[in-house]
Every structure is written in C-alpha cells, then in structure tokens.
Amino acid sequence: MLEVAAGKRTGWADYLEAVSFGLGALGWSTRTGAELEPKTVQALLIDARDILLNLGIFDNRFGLKANTAKMPGQAFARAALRS
C-alpha cells in the first residue's frame, strides 16, 4: 500500500522490486537465508494485485507491463494506511 500511495511506480516489476527490497530491509529471507527475489515476491502478491485491479486502483490499459496507480487509487491506499 505504501508503494501505491506514493504513486511513483509505473510497472508491476517496479512494485515487485520495491516490495522485495522493503521485506529484505525488515529481515525477510527465503528458508535458505537468501534475499527475496522479485519472482518470489510476485507469488506472495498475486492475490493482492488481483484485488487492486478489481478495485480499479491501477490503470491497466497496457496489460501486465504498465500498472500506474490512478489518483483515486492513491487516495484509497493512503486512507487504508491511516486506518
């Protein structure tokens, strides 16, 4: 939600990189102790992504390659973070 609220990412891969970095900074890793790869994070976020798409948070007119958060979507994410 932080990344959606910020509205700086322009593609799903950008979100995955940011979330994997953030989770790594919080100490998350794989069972073997390796850093989380964006592919691993994608598996964690696929349901959340579908929900955000269904809510109309992203402008998904370019398919999976460009998921820009709409202004109302950013407002939704900010409200969710405040609650």
Beta bridge partners of residue 69, listed in sequence order: 58
- CA 9 vs. chain centroid, Å, equals 9
| Averaged pLDDT, 4-30 | 91
In total, the chain counts a number of residues equal to 83
Q: Which of 82, 72, 26, 48 is nearest to 12 (CA)?
A: 48
Q: What is the mean pLDDT of the chain?
A: 87
pTM for the structure as a whole = 0.79
CB 72 within 8 A of CB 7: no
Q: What pLDDT sits at residue 41?
A: 92
| Averaged pLDDT, 32-61 | 87
Sign, CA torsion 3/70/10/40: positive
**Structure letter (DSSP) for residue 65:** G
